Structure 1
């Protein structure tokens, strides 16, 4: 840990300790960034809460399927199970969710949010209790990504009294899932222990191999709450949380040629036989809350996340895919395991550390005859990623019509290149102040100001002992980010809203020296309606980027001339505009039966408005992996608490995988296909505390090309059925 950073961290802890010694009653179970849907409706911007009840209707374990239920959010599928989510908000870019601030219980959860924001870690979604999505000016309370939006995943809360649950599920492809938790509370303490285990043999088949293509994930969580008695003059509360997860998944980046996809989208080439992801993650969090009085609350959070992963996967076969798609018979035979070919399998071996200290003060006061909810926050954070990535060379040898893999060499003996032997680090200090002002009974104005100060370094080594530095790169970013939003309540349940804020997305430390961060000015204007069982929302948004930055990765190579897979690439100016719409109503039918219906639609249009310096991106080019239309409809019937049945229809438009696909000519291999998927689910109460459920994903077995980068066409999940039982105790 850098010495100066350590001193700053200690100073902040000392500063917050005396303040935390003076407080009075408030119960803090889990930190939320919005609260409930009623709280979301009061914010000066677009905000949505997908409650636990909402999530239980479809029993989804793939975060992408829940993301599509929130307007303004879009995604790019990759593996069919949501193991490697790609989520974007309002045109921010979906590659590895690196342009979205991701949190669990209010704590940054990406492996290295500043040094390596690409989200190769995601909690098992089957254990998540609810989801909050925040857009607009209030986004400046969080960071570092403040252009598109923030997502907070709320874990299972400590129950108010002794309670537990066991959910078991089995499905096709030998799929199994077990989720169990138990917790209890007294006046001054509470605890929760939780386990989530999920596995599948996978829906794909490797040509000429009997290896499975599925995954095995395990998550464990423990929580403890200690608090003062309610009669205490000063109320304190301490929340501790530890979580551990591991994953083994036989996933690959190697897709298919279009010809082979059309024959069988669920096949895999033999060259991907040994591809495997192996991860371990441990997270620690301690949060202390204290009330100074009825109007002032202080919260201090310390956190540390450790993540290690090795994705051993075939590399460099995208050229064969391109050649075969263009009619090269030899390349097609090599991919099908019918001809010899030499290729690399890379140990994408990385270790991440992310840690920090966050302090927040909430103060309610009256000034100039108006009510003010003031919040001040500051965070010291550091993270790093250590890459030591040997490359093994294999030859696919075909004998008597059967392929085998024969080891040739490894860079462990021939020497690892500096691009695969490097450490990237980031130190960040951020602060914000927000003032929500109730001007009168109808008008609320929120003013915000955020400051981000970021220092990043990348050190590349030319020898395995790391005694010789090949080169170093550093970037410093310091930005002020102002914002203002307002809501005005009309009669009849209508609320007008509008806002503008300056957003930031830092460049990665693997970039060249002094790459400018992504900066945008973001506007939104719209209205909400809520009356009885009906709610609706219509919001227009516009983002003007003075500098658009792509985060380069193997999953989503950048648009520069080298198609870089590390660092960041500046594309210059661009703009994104669109419309978000939502409407929902619960119809009351006869005999206690109700019919909840909710639909949302997002239209997005984005393009580059200035040619890049290297000429790789031109004015008028499209933005990558940005669907023009995303639509979702969920409709159900509920027989009180006894039974329910739901149908969910989701549509995602085709997306360009690079910035050239709308320049004209044949763009067949430069875009994904539009996809419509229908899911069904239903449940029935066996007893007052036991419920049976069933679900079918992709009822009509509609499979399309949902991803092409980096190496070929890949499908969504085929029709898959599951049944399960959930028991409360």
Structure 2
């Protein structure tokens, strides 16, 4: 690979150009990929925007709870707080959100989107001001994951006038949260500074231990806008953003046996006492927007993200879970801390760097009597993940009926294996061209073509000094990805839409040499309706995978039980229906009743037996719920007060491909779950508002995940109260 970008990349990326005076709201549009709900309705494909006002109704800080409000999106819970989300779109696979293009303010945010797309970093959702979900052909404007969809998280924008907000919240389990920001704008400068801090003792208890199971997470963000006078003949604008976050969470991969889950879903085994995740992240972004005239604009973005983490956690205890579930009393006693046990705790230590330079040009013109909105984009990106992961051996010693942990040895002294001492790198050039054609007043057609050229390398070392290479693997991927979408406006507020595109998800660097990427052809067809206070949507989708690829990890092992590299399942198909309907009823005395419901049906299966026989034709896809539904209803009196109820349902999911072969699947399925949340707020003054919420009102806890090592619950009933003050 070429030498990585220097740290001076951001300074070199700022381009000066001439531009007529424009309203500065246009610069804010550059931080989004869709815009508002009206813009989403105009796209040639499925798209949704969850606005700041909608986020404010339920006061969610777990992105999973917001994901269920968008049709076609599904998730697998893990820790109850959404610290490391598992989000999938249209059957793409949800493990660590690795098959979804994740962005913040339009910039790739996964620690290493090409070399290691698993989202072990995720920004604190409580500081977000909006969420955009894009599916269908327009997805080809982004990447590298272009199979299921893309999600863009909007951070707090620079305000148009001096203003700020402080939101404080307390909850059960000694939970505390504060979100504060302040910003201002003048004609030629604007800024915002922000912090979001959240901590909790956690809702789980470790057997025979007084250690907490919660987390402490802090985010800091600063943005600066510089521009020439709006009245000048020449206009420049530069947006700069810096963010920093750190997290210490006492999370584990070790779940529970079904018997212990039934007895108390909120317990943890003593062997997980030392488990914790320690992370730090720095992000830098510079974006320059230029409008050469009313029809031509140029945008240049440079970015760099640095992320380091060490998830110190018990390893290899999943087999004890399996044995105990099968009736092994010795395995059960070891897990419960009732007898001695020797096991490893691994330093899952990784350092990531992700950086790139992105250029986009937009041109509006008239050709052949039709209006064209042509966009050309190109991006150079490189990222890497450096793993140096020593393993410590402990013994669980039981004395006088209580367990303790005794350190035994470390591979730092004896030498670590090459699988725990490796560097994975990726270099990618991607380009796209899109042409949105207004054929007439009713018909709009968008054609797209994307090209991805990716080179990845994995190097494993057999010694700690990294002087001896144990193994090196290289993969080169070059793919053309075409797409076309169309909308047709009928009378009465009805819009028909349809599209088809070729999508791709790259294989990981640790895969065998020259492994093929995941490739699918994706179709959608449906209609939207919007009139007054009513909106509705019904879309059918079908994805035909010529090569289905799983990215293997300890968190989400592949179907062949591999925990590194990629595994090709062969051909598969996913099909389904997305439906949404919403209306705001107006009552007397200024009361209104907003109601919105969505439902997603998904059916997916393997359509060709894998070469090694590990998956068979007709096998199900993993962690893919057949039904996901959500209903949100409220009662509101202007800005004075409001109350909302949200009911979410997620169907049971298979955790492996053999789940539906007719054998006993007791331990290979999660449980279906219905959760009811309540929230309300009351205006104390024109600038201050009190709010309260109860998550999981009926305290219904089910097995929402079984991977990697045992059963896990959702968040129990939890009450919150807080105050939000504008100034």
TM-score (norm 1): 0.98
Distance of 2:429 and 2:11 partners within structure 1 = 11
Verify the 8 A CA contact 2:604 2:620 in the aligned structure 1.
yes
Specify the alignment match of 1:664 in structure 2.
Answer: 662
**What's the offset of the Cα at 1:565?**
1.1
Q: Does residue 21 of structure 1 match 2:13?
A: no
SS at match of 2:261: helix
Specify the alignment match of 2:489 in structure 1.
Answer: 489
Specify the alignment match of 1:571 in structure 2.
Answer: 569
Distance of 2:474 and 2:401 partners within structure 1 = 52
**What's the offset of the Cα at 1:589?**
0.8
Distance of 2:349 and 2:487 partners within structure 1 = 48
Specify the alignment match of 1:42 in structure 2.
Answer: 42
Specify the alignment match of 1:600 in structure 2.
Answer: 598
Deviations 1:258-305 (A, max 9, x none): 000000000000000000000000000000011100000000000000
Specify the alignment match of 1:384 in structure 2.
Answer: 384
Specify the alignment match of 2:548 in structure 1.
Answer: 548
Verify the 8 A CA contact 1:557 1:710 in the aligned structure 2.
yes
Distance of 1:202 and 1:371 partners within structure 2 = 56
Specify the alignment match of 2:614 in structure 1.
Answer: 616
Distance of 1:110 and 1:567 partners within structure 2 = 18
Distance of 2:9 and 2:72 partners within structure 1 = 40
Distance of 2:381 and 2:256 partners within structure 1 = 41
Specify the alignment match of 2:151 in structure 1.
Answer: 151
Aligned pairs (5 A) from 1:516-531: 516-531=516-531
Verify the 8 A CA contact 1:128 1:156 in the aligned structure 2.
yes
Specify the alignment match of 1:264 in structure 2.
Answer: 264
Specify the alignment match of 2:99 in structure 1.
Answer: 99
Specify the alignment match of 1:123 in structure 2.
Answer: 123
Deviations 1:623-673 (A, max 9, x none): 000000000000000011000000000000000000000011110000100
Specify the alignment match of 1:300 in structure 2.
Answer: 300
Structure 1 runs of 4+ aligned residues shifted over 4 Å read 9-14
Deviations 1:576-616 (A, max 9, x none): 00000000000001100000000000000000001111110
Distance of 2:661 and 2:563 partners within structure 1 = 23
Distance of 1:477 and 1:68 partners within structure 2 = 34
Specify the alignment match of 2:191 in structure 1.
Answer: 191
Deviations 1:323-381 (A, max 9, x none): 00000000000000001111100000000000000000011000010000000000000
Aligned pairs (5 A) from 1:410-425: 410-425=410-425
Specify the alignment match of 2:64 in structure 1.
Answer: 64
Specify the alignment match of 2:160 in structure 1.
Answer: 160
Aligned pairs (5 A) from 1:319-468: 319-468=319-468
**What's the offset of the Cα at 1:228?**
1.1
Deviations 1:122-169 (A, max 9, x none): 000000110000000000000000000000000000000000000000
Distance of 1:343 and 1:567 partners within structure 2 = 25
Distance of 1:577 and 1:232 partners within structure 2 = 53
SS at match of 1:591: helix
**What's the offset of the Cα at 1:23?**
2.2
SS at match of 2:65: helix
When residues 303 and 37 of structure 1 are mapped into structure 2, their CA distance, relative to the original with a 3 A threshold, is same
SS at match of 2:707: coil
Verify the 8 A CA contact 1:25 1:290 in the aligned structure 2.
no
Verify the 8 A CA contact 1:234 1:290 in the aligned structure 2.
no
**What's the offset of the Cα at 1:11?**
14
SS at match of 2:290: strand
Distance of 2:515 and 2:686 partners within structure 1 = 60
Distance of 1:189 and 1:171 partners within structure 2 = 38
Specify the alignment match of 2:536 in structure 1.
Answer: 536
Moved more, 226-235 or 445-454: 226-235
Q: Does residue 32 of structure 1 match 2:32?
A: yes
Distance of 1:277 and 1:316 partners within structure 2 = 17
Deviations 1:7-36 (A, max 9, x none): 9x989968x94xx52322332025110000
Specify the alignment match of 1:476 in structure 2.
Answer: 476
Distance of 2:496 and 2:707 partners within structure 1 = 41
Specify the alignment match of 2:642 in structure 1.
Answer: 644
Distance of 2:539 and 2:449 partners within structure 1 = 23
Verify the 8 A CA contact 2:242 2:282 in the aligned structure 1.
yes
Deviations 1:202-232 (A, max 9, x none): 0000000000000000000000000111122
SS at match of 2:667: helix
Specify the alignment match of 2:653 in structure 1.
Answer: 655
Specify the alignment match of 1:235 in structure 2.
Answer: 235
SS at match of 1:556: coil
**What's the offset of the Cα at 1:401?**
0.4
The Cα RMSD (Å) is 1.3
Distance of 1:299 and 1:287 partners within structure 2 = 7
Distance of 1:486 and 1:364 partners within structure 2 = 18
Specify the alignment match of 1:689 in structure 2.
Answer: 687
Specify the alignment match of 1:591 in structure 2.
Answer: 589
Distance of 2:514 and 2:204 partners within structure 1 = 44
Verify the 8 A CA contact 2:10 2:286 in the aligned structure 1.
no
SS at match of 1:412: helix
Specify the alignment match of 1:275 in structure 2.
Answer: 275
SS at match of 1:539: strand
SS at match of 2:271: helix
**What's the offset of the Cα at 1:554?**
1.0
Verify the 8 A CA contact 1:302 1:356 in the aligned structure 2.
yes
Verify the 8 A CA contact 1:333 1:339 in the aligned structure 2.
yes
Verify the 8 A CA contact 1:188 1:226 in the aligned structure 2.
yes
**What's the offset of the Cα at 1:411?**
0.5
Distance of 2:20 and 2:12 partners within structure 1 = 20
SS at match of 1:65: helix
Deviations 1:63-122 (A, max 9, x none): 000000000000000000000100000000000000000000000000000000000000
SS at match of 1:139: helix
Deviations 1:520-565 (A, max 9, x none): 00000000000000000000000000000001111110001xx111
SS at match of 2:57: helix
Distance of 2:5 and 2:422 partners within structure 1 = 23
When residues 387 and 217 of structure 1 are mapped into structure 2, their CA distance, relative to the original with a 3 A threshold, is same
Distance of 1:137 and 1:79 partners within structure 2 = 33
Where structure 2 has 5 or more consecutive residues not aligned to the other structure, the ranges are none
SS at match of 1:293: coil
Q: Does residue 246 of structure 1 match 2:246?
A: yes
Specify the alignment match of 1:214 in structure 2.
Answer: 214
Q: Does residue 179 of structure 1 match 2:175?
A: no
Distance of 2:56 and 2:552 partners within structure 1 = 36
When residues 10 and 339 of structure 1 are mapped into structure 2, their CA distance, relative to the original with a 3 A threshold, is closer
Specify the alignment match of 2:313 in structure 1.
Answer: 313
Specify the alignment match of 1:720 in structure 2.
Answer: 718
Where structure 1 has 5 or more consecutive residues not aligned to the other structure, the ranges are none
Distance of 1:41 and 1:234 partners within structure 2 = 34
SS at match of 2:334: helix
Q: What is the total number of aligned residue pairs between the two structures?
A: 722
Verify the 8 A CA contact 1:234 1:292 in the aligned structure 2.
no
